[in-house]
Structure 1
Amino acid sequence: MTLSIQNIEKMLHAKRFGDNNGIIDTISIDSRSLQNNQKTLFFALVGSNNDAHIYISDLIKKGVQNFVVTHIPEGLANKAVFLVVENTLDALQKFAAHHRSLFKFPVFGLTGSNGKTIVKEWLNFLLNPDFNIIRSPKSYNSQVGVPLSVISINDKHNLGIFEAGISKMDEMEKLENIIRPTIGIITNIGTAHDEGFEDLEKKIKEKLKLFKHSKLIIYQKNKIIDALIKSKIKSFSWSFNDETADVFISKKEIQDKTTLQVRYGKENFDVQIPFQDEASVENAATCLMVLLSFKYDKKTIQNRMQWLYPVEMRLKVKNGINKTTLIDDSYSCDFQSLKIALDFLESQKQYKNKTLILSDIFQSGLSNEELYTKVAQLLKNNKVNRVIGIGETISAFKNKFTNCTTFKTTADFFLNFNYLNFVNETILIKGARHFQFEEIVSALEEKTHETILEINLNSISHNLSFFKSKLKPTTKMMVMVKAFGYGSGGFEICKLLEHHKVDYLGVAFADEGISLKNAGIVLPIMVLNPETTSFSSIIQYKLEPEIYSLKGLNAFLKIAEKRKLKHFPIHIKLDTGMHRLGFEEENLDELIAILKDNKFVTVKSVLSHMATSDDLVHQEFAHSQITLFEKLSSKLMSELQIKPIRHILNTSGISNFPQAQYDMVRLGIGLYGVSNDAEEQKYLENVGTLKSIISQIRSIQAGESVGYGRRFVANKPSKIATIPIGYADGISRHWGNALGFVTINNQKATIIGSVCMDMLMVDITEINCKEGDTVIIFGESPSVTFMAHQLQTIPYEILTSISQRVKRVFYRE
């Protein structure tokens, strides 16, 4: 895509300010991307929590010269070219719709509650021997993601596969105008985003708007869909139980596979797929329908579908060997998803040096010369220090890359593995599936036991945005990352928060802050419970201490004077009723006297902590705290002639006492998906999922016991599974003896007997499972909130108890 600014101006019906006859070849909405350059057109999107106009000044300094805006920021009128429009998101969508109109090949539009990304990836696998396919990268299916996907179409593509996701009414028409699918696919209609629709019929009616101009719709037969499809559109339905469908499918499970017995018109044939779970079988049936609609013969269908594979939709961050961090994106390799992965690499890099292990790139729609020239420039922009290429094609273009080593095959890579010296670096592993890069991930990954805590970074971002939406535009946000990020992990979450430009991080003790600074975090970090012995380290690492007593203040000032500090930032804690830490009203005059005309420190903020913000039964007490905070902080400001940041609200306070936002709030447990309010909990996403596996399954007879002390005795023949997680990993012993449960294959398995140090046992008598199957210890079910209620504690204790020996795996969908 290369367009002149003049052409874009006409296309968007924009008003142009500034002269530029340059060419645009990149569209961007992310000010943080290292891919922004002189040929970038930046759309300054405005959301409920963020306005990208505030980043334009920084982007100009980085070389970006062309912007689509709703207004020109003050002082920038003559420093760049601005295309002024009423709504920048509408403009982005209009741009994408125009680009789509230039191409006439078949385009699939996928919608549904579940399965869209799986079906898209499988269709890409099944059809790519015959087509040059453009598809949505990852799950780019939103009002922003769809236009960014469609803009990537080029002249070499001859088939498109795009997802469309909606969460409320009146969203689909905009996506239809951009995708303009010629063939529609409806995947599973489930309960996701139900809250945005009055009923199922209205939800389906909204989704069907995607197919306004389609010639064919493929779907699982459903009476509501049947009634709503317009007569001019041809339907092609399938079913497991309705024999009036165009294609009737029976299922038969054999070992770990499923045979689909297909009846289509006069034809009957079998197709084998390597799955048995209901969702995968449904998604495979949808893909089968597409192959039938394209008139593929049964032998081709049988041959290709037997090789369907599990699709990993996540970018995962893992600890690697020799002080390395791995970003695992080892299941696909195309140009668009490489750009996304490189942005993620920058947002999650723990080590300065960045290494990319990259396979041949397929289906770019570009000549190899043009493709690898673009890839080389992309890696240069992203400041990748080392490239390891694997594949015949990338090896042929090795000279385009700086500091590049190539191998023809993955096997050749392993022959030289010991000479590649992976150490102190962040490594992005990005490979097309048949290169089997999962073996590279396995070789580089730090070996730990099979229990992991998965942290969903998308959910962190969602929850952050949810609480930001409750704030005034001028209110700053501190995020609490103490106690190893409430058990979820420190650096990785802090790096994401830095990416989202929060204002402060909060830790309990100096060593937590030092660890983050050593890892490269540059956000200001407040130490809330500093010990006087840590003041020297706090100063050395440029942390900012909370000062809560005269003794502590005098100790810090003594060191500050000795080191000849000037205006070192400190934070004054006031006790307004919590009676834990802080200056009380009777100390205020002495505090003011010490701080007055003091040049060694600067009061950066004044804060207090609410004792009952989560319990509205005590809201009178909460209001008394706010009133006292106003009185004491105002006196400090007046007497010292200062304007510090003031903050008193924690997570519950943000929701329950919005009038007391002051200058900043402190978000804690809410970031991790936990609320004390049941209604608010519905809007938060689960962040942490603690997983393990079944180590062993055994059968016992009535009268036999399990575990220490024979606390469980079977009253009938039973099947018992042993899970390698115990109280040394953070699972309370009280959670055993039939109080708690785990989830295996979406079914509850009761914990029987005592929880051991490294193991627990569960009853799987009624569950179809095998050794090696995944076990959910907590996540969606049971949730940490449920566990806390059963154990008569709080979610904080559940989360922070998870041992450091449990590996944390961070991922982004």
Structure 2
Amino acid sequence: MSLNLKSLVSVLNAKWIGSNADVLIDHISIDSRSLQNGSQTLFFALAGVNNDAHLFIPDLIENGVQNFVVQYIPEGFAERANFLVVENTLFALQEFAAYYRNLFHFPVIGVTGSNGKTIVKEWLNFLLSPDYNIIRSPKSYNSQVGVPLSVIAINEKHNLGIFEAGISTVNEMAKLEKIIKPNIGVLTNIGSAHDEGFLNLVQKIDEKLLLFKDCPIIIYQKNEVVDSCLSQFAAEYMHHPRKLFSWSFQDKTADVFIEKREHKSDHTFIQYQYKNQVFNLEIPFNDSASVENAISCLLVLLNFNYDQETIQNRIEKLYPVRMRLEVKNGINNCSIIDDSYSSDFQSLKIALDFLESQKKKGASKTVILSDIFQSGFTNEELYSKVAQLISDNKINRVIGIGPTISSFEAKFPNSTMFENTADFIAEIDNLNFNNETILIKGARSFQFEEIVSLLEEKTHETVLEINLDAITHNFNYYKSKLAPNVKMMVMVKAFGYGNGGLEIAKLLEHHKVDYLGVAFADEGIALKNGGIKLPIMVLNPESTSFPSIIQYQLEPEIYSLKGLNAFLKIAREKNLKDYPIHIKMDTGMHRLGFENNTIDELIATLKGNSTVRVQTILSHLATSDEPKHFDFVRKQIALFEKLSSKLMAELNINPIRHILNTSGISNFSDAQYSMVRLGIGLYGVSNDPLEQKYLENVGTLKSIISQVRTIPAGDSVGYGRRFMAEKETKIATIPIGYADGIARLWGNEVGFVTIKNQKAKIVGSVCMDMLMVNVTDIDCKEGDSVIIFGESPTVIEMAVALKTIPYEIMTSISQRVKRVFFR
């Protein structure tokens, strides 16, 4: 992409405000966090119900972005960048995508329908990619935002496009049609998903067909309703010659008539008639949804004039696409079919068909089912039909979740009903899941992903297991040290010290902690977006983040007059009153905070100001964990008392005060004031060896053995040959390395891992994604579990050996390492 910014003013019907319209644009973005944003990025500031990207424009400008499509310009920034001002930035994004699409003239396949869009798209990409350079929708980018982003990714090297279009109500498809402009249309299965957005099935089909209004060919499964809609559609859009290319299992007038010949194992053999010839085809699936999707792909291949041999060779290699319906290993020899994001009658039929094809030999069949929406039936009709389906599919037991399905319990033999997901989870241990194939199917609102997580076998190769019970224990240990009515703030910055911020924050909210502390606004925003309602203090806010802090009702730490004045300015502009702020005093740390000589000016600035309220006054101890510096700590506390008391007296306020960190809680109990801040101690680490034995280990970093080999004396291991075997040595390779956060200094026999409760020294250099250990004296095999740190070695042991601190070990663990939380 290389477009002149000036040319886009008329394309978007925008008002130009800027100084340089001759910029070349090579990148489109809607994500303010993307590291790809730069001087040649055109940023569309989308504004939704819960988020307004205009708030991030100051940050983007600071990071070098100079070109924006906006609905309004943030105050004070009109002369700092180029702005294209439009009425609606989403519509502008769609208009830009339509303009960009028209710059290319290769064939484009448009896929729509109720079910199977993404699978058909992915399969067509697989089937056609040997012959074309294909641009396709990433994942399920089929929405009003996703489609434009997909099309904008076209470049000059592409010669075929495959885009899917999803809609949930009327007046949406026309916008997507302008963007995709398909030459070949594929209409997949029409079910009852999103029925609530349409008056009836006919209206839904009519709306979906609008994707094909200028399309020369439409591929579809022939049936009476769709044919009727297509007839009306053709009459309405007669301006374009159009070929209808149909298939059917029943109607021999279809262009491709198909007969299922037999099922064998997990394959389906069909015979199809096309142009007066008969062909046989093997499809590597036997569930009806996959067979239908494969047939849609078959017709596309026929339209492209592929020969029978090529068609067979490619279709027999089709593979399962990871979608909303997934098969996973479960606990106690169970298999889990995860369909935890949809619940309508049509898809239930497909899912039950899939359950039958995936059931384990000798296993019983269980369905966990939520209330069903979008059916078009009365509840009595619906659940009578569902009960018949359950009976026809010989389901051994049904677990219903939801008030409606529970009211029809009598229709389901061998069933257990729960009013909501929480009630089910509370009883999950008493339901005795064992040797079952379990279909988990529920509407998104029931959050069945929590059920999948509980029933899924944890078999990830490298994971950081977080023991929530240990966090609770450590929290209560420090809480027991506090005087009555002393509040507690818990630090969850740096992704919860590497352990996972949101999950831990939810646990702390459950335990009614008083405050959460984060370092930067983004961390607090993530917690708020995750549903956290606790007050959150931002310890190191940048002035450019103040609008976001206010939007998400975070509370900033103020540590300078410059920062205070900047916040007061924004607070006045937004007509805030008594907005909570936290005043930081520098009592000797000399990092951030108001010093003694700035207190008078601080008081003068705050006096009589009604826009903000001093919620707390705080300071930070520098040496609360080192006895040789305890006198310095006492001087800090004394200075804090003096400065905070003066501020309180002059302003006539009585805020919360806090100065103690984790070590301070244990070592300076007389300075608890009205709140303390718990940090590393929550995560099971103390600087006091005596106290350490009262804490429980929270994080255990685990992996597995990828490979075991024996090398002779004289052979080396790893880069640089830094380990040379003095005798025959058995070496195990572990799939974790410095890209996951394991320091290279921990290699070369400095560090170890634990296998079968025995130490295995790391030999050679730690690699980016792997490390090697000596297991000569350990009876182990590939796939065995490996402890990288936890009980042994502990992060404290590692820190001592590496001459660092446990904080660094914990926060270094990469985000690519999956966190698994358990009780």
TM-score (normalised: structure 1): 0.50
